Amino acid sequence: MLNNKIPPIIVVVFFAIVMAVIAHYSVIDFTAFIFYAATILLAIGCVFCIAGVVSFRLAKTTVNPRKPEQASELVTTGIYRFSRNPMYLGFAFILAAWGVWLASLWALLCVIAFIGYLTWFQIIPEERELQKIFGKAYSDYKLQVKRWL
């Protein structure tokens, strides 16, 4: 035999009213959260981008993504131990920061579209070129380090 004599629909209505009262008297301002989350994502993105450029400069190889055939060195140290594409990863974090700042889930979904587009039209062609230039060394590197993170 059930101990509960109150119909569930009444319990739902009761809790809905309690929630409405709580929400009315305890408005949470997400402005600070959005600011800090966006700032953190932006900082992470900038660190990835800058670390990628610095690693390429130290190796004295091209940073130009439109000319992967000019790569003179396979960079596998520094930030490149964690991601094969830290600059692109940094851009994704920067876009995520922008989406958070805009407080829009739909805008955040554009980050996924960016990753898909960049993977298909930029990274895969770059990888083909790097495979031609560096051969087995690049194949081994791809086995050790993920494309994004």
Crossing angle between the packed helical segments 136-144 and 124-134, to the nearest 10 degrees: 130
Tell me which residue range forms the domain holding 46: 30-144
Query: For tokens 């400069």, what's the residue?
Result: 57
Task: Identify the pLDDT of residue 3.
Answer: 67
Check whether 2 has a pLDDT greater than 60: no
Is residue 5 assigned to a domain?
no
Domain assignment of residue 84, yes or no: yes
The structural domain count of the chain equals: 1
pLDDT digits (tens, 9 = 90+) for 13-58: 898 999 888 878 887 778 889 999 999 999 999 999 999 999 999 9
Could you list the beta-strand ranges (E) of 1-149. none
Residue 40 CA to its chain's centroid (Å): 12
> Is 11 domain-assigned?
no
Quick check: is 6 in a domain? Answer: no
Residue 116 inside a domain? The answer is yes
CA 63/CA 39 separation, integer angstroms:
26
Residues 6 or more apart whose Cβ sits within 8 Å of residue 107: 98, 99
Query: Which pTM does this prediction carry?
Result: 0.83
Residue 1 scores a pLDDT above 60: no
Whether 20 is in a domain gets the answer no
